[in-house]
Amino acid sequence: MMDLMNYDVFSKREWRDFYQDASVPLTQASLRQIKAFNDRISLQDVQDIYIPLVHYLRLLIKHFDEWQDSKAGFLRQQPRHVPYIIGIAGSVAVGKSTTARLLKVLLNHFFSDQRIEMLTTDGFLYSTAELKKRGLITRKGFPESYDMKALITFLNDVKSGKQLMEVPVYSHKIYDIVPNEVQEIEQPDVLIIEGINTLQLPSSEQIYVSDFTDFSIYVDARPKLIEEWYLERFKALLKLAENDPDNYYHSYTKMPLKDAVEEAKSIWFNVDLPNLEDYILPTRSRANMIIHKGEQHIIDQVMLRKS
């Protein structure tokens, strides 16, 4: 593919052999706690893909910290601590959240003296009430449904070394911003930010979110596979919502399963797939790394941008 010609491509075996560490700090039980809802991940992928990735990041972060000191010296400025930001992008249901959580756990293990924080850009979605007010309720997840000014201001504050920041919290249970609830981000050494829009140029701003990220990862898979994972997750969410009237998905449990799944397919084909094809997938070639998944979420390929 022309848009990926600027990448070095590694098979799982090739990537695994760059760095081997038998002391994986995880068990199957801890993996179950890390993975996002209905995602899958194996200890083998942790060993073969994520452990080498963390040690690759170690080299990048070391170089980044040294460069900040060198730059401050050249500019005759007082050295200051600048957080390293990792962005994770990709389609809905592709496993971005699991990748982000796993990286956080592994970075906490291998960088035990550093503060690792993680958040999702979902917190910067406009509330349902605001989306309705703006006539954007059917465009939820598309670039214009995010308060990009607030997200970019937040990232600028992170890079400026602001001591304490508060970001809104999004709940997939109520499918909305949680009123009067915030996540506190306190001077991280490394910030992992995950979301479908971390590589996009917002329509309302002239600054990319990726202008603030120091390393970006795009989690990739064939759209047909992502559709399967999306529908699997939808069915699992129905079971979870069955006896919970406050759950957004509870209303779907009142109709026959076949009809509910048809509704989900309609949402996929009319909302999520167009969003993927028009706005998410075109940003793939901006990523520093592409992690490609095959059947059952198993990673089969890693690509690193050459420049």
Q: Is 92 annotated as a binding residue?
A: yes
Residue of 63, 53, 112 whose CA lies nearest to 84: 63
- Can you count the helices (H) and strands (E) in the chain? 10, 9
CA distance 273 to 265: 10
Q: What is Dmax (Cα atoms) for the chain?
A: 68
141 annotated among ligand-binding-site residues = no
Using CA atoms, how far apart are residues 117 and 217, in angstroms rounded to an integer?
17
Binding residue per annotation — 91?
A: yes
Q: Is 93 annotated as a binding residue?
A: yes
The answer to whether the annotation marks 112 as part of a ligand binding site is: no
User: In sequence order, which ranges of the chain are alpha helices (DSSP H)?
Assistant: 12-16, 28-34, 43-45, 51-74, 96-110, 128-134, 148-159, 223-241, 257-267, 273-275
Q: Which phi and psi angles does 10 have, rounded to 5°?
A: -125, 135
How many angstroms separate the CA atoms of 138 and 172, rounded? 17
Give the strand pairing for 289-293 and 215-220.
Answer: parallel
Q: What type of residue sits at position 19?
A: Y
Integer CA distances (angstroms), 56 to 6, 51, 68, in order: 19, 9, 19
95 assigned to a ligand binding site = yes
Beta bridge partners of 84: 190
Annotated binding site for ATP: 90-97
Annotated binding site: 90-97
